[in-house]
Structure 1
Amino acid sequence: MSLLGCIADDYTGGADVAAALRRGGLRTALLFGRPETAVDLTDCDAVVVALKTRTAPATTAIAETLQVRSWMAGRGADRVYFKYCSTFDSTPQGNIGVVADGLLDADGSRLTVVCPSTPDQGRTVHNGHLFVGDVPLSESPMRDHPLTPMTDSDLVRVLGAQTPHRVGLVGLPVVRRGADAVRSELAAMRHRGVRYAVTDALTEEDLRTVARAATGLTTLTGAAGLAHALAGTLGAEASAKARDTPEIPAGPALVLAGSCSRTTLEQVDRAREHLPAHRLDLRAVPDPERLHELADDWLREHGDGGPLLVYSSARPEERTSDSASYERILAALARSAVQLGYRRLVVAGGETSGAVVNALGVTAVAVTGEADRGVPWCVHDGDPPVALLLKSGNFGRPDLLTRAAQGRS
């Protein structure tokens, strides 16, 4: 098979989709940021490049994505998968639509699918509306997201506001008739001038149907659910090698939580019951430099080899608008922790994960086993080696942070 290229719009999303491709039997490399020319992809079936473009200015998001697309094409990737979150979160102006437009314009594609459905995470699409569990996206905790609040669950309408091109729907009755029916509907939509086909999907089988129907497309878009289904259609001749995993380095663990999602807040509350914890709160200490100093002192005082938790995660009424300061402090603490001998970093939140990865200078990792679905351990073979667990805010069971910090499955 030819190389599959995947571009994710944030770092936790990159880890999520890399895990899905690996689980589907593809030997997968995960890179952070625009890659270096010298990256060796000889033994890879898929390469995921994770960018920080979800909330970047649109021109920056488009330019960085197209540079990575060009880099992938130069390494034999004749198909690209644009991965966004299963909650489709973005600003009202983008960047999902504008980045997808850039990708389709670059390769001359007239149509692609739009499929954020990921049933194993409780994300499904029905009648074009995105559901989180049993409630529409607009009624879920995502309506209160501090950076990308989602107040509309109608994907046709949401995407239609981000692109000048037509957006249509492949409804569930068509999907349930099979891949040939979906393929015919996509052809009819292309003929009518529709560029984006939002696809209903409630089950893994629905995703496999969409994936089989879309194999002829050179640009696809979706979340990790469709990527996993796509991996199955591409053949799993490398499945045994894909499951060969590097060992997670021995050493203590530090949890760094910046996400304010309801899921992460519950995980932080659970972790505080078991781990020494330090909270970052700019309301109590308004000077970010002083807040960092106090946290760094606490880390060094408690750095006796046991797992620790540092968090800025807060409920809506407790938040401040200065999320960037929290990210800088958590990233700086990650550097301090590695210097102190910590070898496992558990990071909650997409923006926080991006800040930590960049602060550590990590550009490539080996994706290994998942602590929870979509949350893999990633091993950086540096000096010293470090294992990173990069968790999207909404992912994981309530005890995930505790289990990961304590080295339990």
Structure 2
Amino acid sequence: MSGTREASGTRDISGDGPAYGFYGDDFTGATDTLAHLTRAGLRTMLFFAPPDAARLSMLGRLDAVGIAGAARTMAPHAQHQELAHVGAAFAALGVRVMHYKVCSTFDSAPQTGSIGVAIQTLREYCPNPLVAVVGGQPNLRRYCVFGELFAAAGADDHQQSIYRIDRHPTMSRHPVTPMGEADLRVHLQRQGLGNVQSIDWRCYAGGDTVLQKELDCRLESKPDAVLFDVLDDSHLRAIGRLIARHATVQAPLLAVGASSVAHAYASALNDAAEREEVNAVPVPLARARGPVFVLAGSLSPLTEVQIAAAHSYLRVELDPLQVTGDAASAYLAERVAAITGPLRDGRNVLAFTTRRAAQVGDATDGTDAGGVLPQLAHACAALLQAVLGKVSLQRIGIAGGDTSSVAVRALDAWGLSYLAPLPAGVTVCRLHADRSELDGMEIMLKGGQMGDADLFEQLLNGYAVDEAANG
């Protein structure tokens, strides 16, 4: 897809500019939100920085715009600076809904990626009295019940168990932002939000009128945020109608949550138009037309399973101590040669950080190398730049939230548009760049907890999503 071509999606909605703006606190989550909106028929583009007027004019009319960031790794001061810039940009665009996209597990902490800091910063640009926190994402098996968050764990859909988030085998031991509290109201209060009200799942059964009355009662105390339980898609549709109604009357409105916020919003638009989603059956991902390169900086147990199942790839190990040590330049050059030679010969290559990275950080269940050793994510980004400087590729994959954010930002590109889905919250996008050798490259970004066991094989061989996988 050319860098000057119109963003994907066909839905036409009222208004002069984009009605929906979202900021992803990491790149992998931002691409999932991009997928939800585009599949609902909204013309959507994901940018790496707030777009200027010339860029927007080149793209034509957009229904939704996103900015992929890295706020989940930031300290409060840096996070405030980043999000104040984003909030001002969205306000200038006139968005009706401003969505702060967080991980579906809500992992964050007062000093790292604070959701409380995000809400306090962005609310300055959203005068609407409602700050809606959407607590679950059913298609990823994330559920919020009476304010408490639950999430699935396991590589096999049929063997996944559901855990309260503070007992989740991975997220309760996250090396940077461990989830030690399941009640999201308490979790947000610890991040500076003194008054967090909640709407529990029983309120949805009474219909929109009952739900609005319940919300009116909560808003009387002028809360910092209102948390909404989510157990299934019908709850998201009810929340979406409420958000759309409040945004129309008192815009703009701040919404916080995973891609379920976008799902809720898009379903409300489609309900109002009395039509089905434009792309209810997603376009399948075709087999790659050339060799595929995957860079795995994630240390999650699921990514480890995915690496072991990547039988079609030559594996190249990356020692975290050597790639970040005193002789890193020489080691990096040697690893780049070990990767680019086979790629030129038409072989698929998977480069991955060894478990030694987790041992160094004393976090054997770490979800991302960048969280354990911050410099490792930057080293992976340098490796990716060097590889793409020596060999032209049509499709690549990056595993790890921090690794994805840093690596993609290091490329000379400006945005992403949606191409096709892979299972369990993973999206394949088109890269948009002013450099012809990068423009149109297909790129998969995935967090440590996302994807099937054979995800990297799916990236190579293609994947046709059925109704069950679509979620």
Provide TM-score, normalisation by structure 1: 0.91
Distance 2:399 2:408 in 1: 12
Match of 1:111 in 2: 130
- Does 1:147 pair with 2:202? no
Find the residue that maps to 2:204 and give its secondary structure. helix
Conserved? CA contact 2:295–2:397, under 8 Å? yes
Match of 1:136 in 2: 164
Closer, same or farther: CA 251–393 of 1 in aligned 2, 3 Å: same
Closer, same or farther: CA 61–172 of 1 in aligned 2, 3 Å: same
* From 414, 423, 427, the counterpart of 1:376: 427
Match of 1:125 in 2: 144
Spell out the pairing of 1:14-25 with structure 2 (5 A cutoff): 14-25=30-41
State the AA in 2 paired with 1:99: A
Match of 1:314 in 2: 355
Distance 1:234 1:19 in 2: 16
Distance 1:194 1:343 in 2: 49
Closer, same or farther: CA 381–104 of 1 in aligned 2, 3 Å: closer
* From 407, 413, 418, the counterpart of 1:356: 407
* From 212, 230, 233, the counterpart of 2:265: 230
Conserved? CA contact 1:35–1:68, under 8 Å? no
What fraction of aligned residue pairs are identical, expressed as a percent?
29
* From 95, 99, 124, the counterpart of 2:118: 99
Closer, same or farther: CA 264–245 of 1 in aligned 2, 3 Å: closer
Distance 1:316 1:381 in 2: 32
* From 93, 103, 117, the counterpart of 1:75: 93
Structure 2 regions of 5+ residues with no counterpart?
1-13, 153-161, 248-252, 363-371, 465-471
State the AA in 1 paired with 2:185: V
Conserved? CA contact 1:254–1:337, under 8 Å? no
Q: CA deviation at 1:265?
A: 1.9
Closer, same or farther: CA 335–284 of 1 in aligned 2, 3 Å: closer
Deviates more, 1:317-326 or 1:240-249: 240-249
RMSD, aligned CA: 2.6
* From 247, 264, 268, the counterpart of 2:307: 268
Find the residue that maps to 1:365 and give its secondary structure. strand
* From 83, 100, 103, the counterpart of 1:85: 103
Match of 1:343 in 2: 394
State the AA in 2 paired with 1:10: D
Match of 2:71 in 1: 53
Q: CA deviation at 1:408?
A: 4.8
Closer, same or farther: CA 111–315 of 1 in aligned 2, 3 Å: farther
Conserved? CA contact 1:17–1:374, under 8 Å? no
Closer, same or farther: CA 262–37 of 1 in aligned 2, 3 Å: farther
* From 170, 177, 198, the counterpart of 2:206: 177
Match of 1:62 in 2: 80
Conserved? CA contact 1:145–1:261, under 8 Å? no
Q: Deviations over 1:115-145 (max 9, x none)?
A: 1311110100011111012111111111222
Conserved? CA contact 1:168–1:197, under 8 Å? yes
Match of 2:337 in 1: 297
Find the residue that maps to 1:77 and give its secondary structure. coil
* From 26, 51, 54, the counterpart of 1:35: 51
- Does 1:324 pair with 2:374? yes
Closer, same or farther: CA 66–246 of 1 in aligned 2, 3 Å: farther
Spell out the pairing of 1:199-214 with structure 2 (5 A cutoff): 199-214=228-243
Conserved? CA contact 1:114–1:197, under 8 Å? yes
Distance 1:391 1:401 in 2: 11
Conserved? CA contact 1:258–1:312, under 8 Å? yes
State the AA in 2 paired with 1:269: A
Closer, same or farther: CA 150–291 of 1 in aligned 2, 3 Å: farther
- Does 1:398 pair with 2:453? yes
Q: CA deviation at 1:343?
A: 2.4
State the AA in 2 paired with 1:338: L
Find the residue that maps to 2:392 and give its secondary structure. coil
Distance 2:432 2:288 in 1: 9
Q: CA deviation at 1:302?
A: 2.1
Provide TM-score, normalisation by structure 2: 0.80
Closer, same or farther: CA 137–281 of 1 in aligned 2, 3 Å: same
Q: CA deviation at 1:319?
A: 4.5
Deviates more, 1:70-79 or 1:216-225: 70-79
Q: CA deviation at 1:249?
A: 8.2
Distance 2:288 2:314 in 1: 22
Closer, same or farther: CA 313–12 of 1 in aligned 2, 3 Å: farther
Distance 1:160 1:121 in 2: 25
Q: CA deviation at 1:336?
A: 2.5
Count of residue pairs the alignment pairs up: 408
Distance 1:316 1:178 in 2: 51
Conserved? CA contact 1:208–1:226, under 8 Å? no
Q: CA deviation at 1:65?
A: 1.7
Conserved? CA contact 1:257–1:313, under 8 Å? no
Distance 2:373 2:404 in 1: 13
